[in-house]
Amino acid sequence: MSDPIETVSPDPASAETELQPERVRELAEAGDADVVDVRRGYEFEEGHLPGARHVEVNELTVQAESISKDRPVVFYCRSGNRSGMAAAAFREAGWDAHNLAGGIVAWADAGHPLEPDGGQVAAPRPPTA
């Protein structure tokens, strides 16, 4: 039996965690993975993957036990940097964790839908003090 998570990555070190947008869409639409947006609140509000749960990256440690270990989880952010770190940490801690390669930018560039209707990828803002 083959692994239900197909990975594609040019970097062998990250091959087990990086998923291309089309594969994430397949998993999400089939209900075969949980999708977690780790961006800031304003970013999530402007546009997010359909059905995604929002947990800011700095809240992941507190919220970790609320993320199921019984099914794959795909983390994403704007470009894949924050979510890549989250996926690696969760995988190390025993989750079947993955990262959306290229983040929501790659998702939108591939023509996949965003919520809410008319949603868009939020422009970065400087951190607030």
Mind telling me the catalytic residues?
Answer: 77
DSSP result, 29-82: HHT-SEEEE-S-HHHHHH-B-TTPEE--GGGHHHHGGGS-SSS-EEEE-SSSHH
Question: Could you tell me the two tokens for 49?
Answer: 């993957």
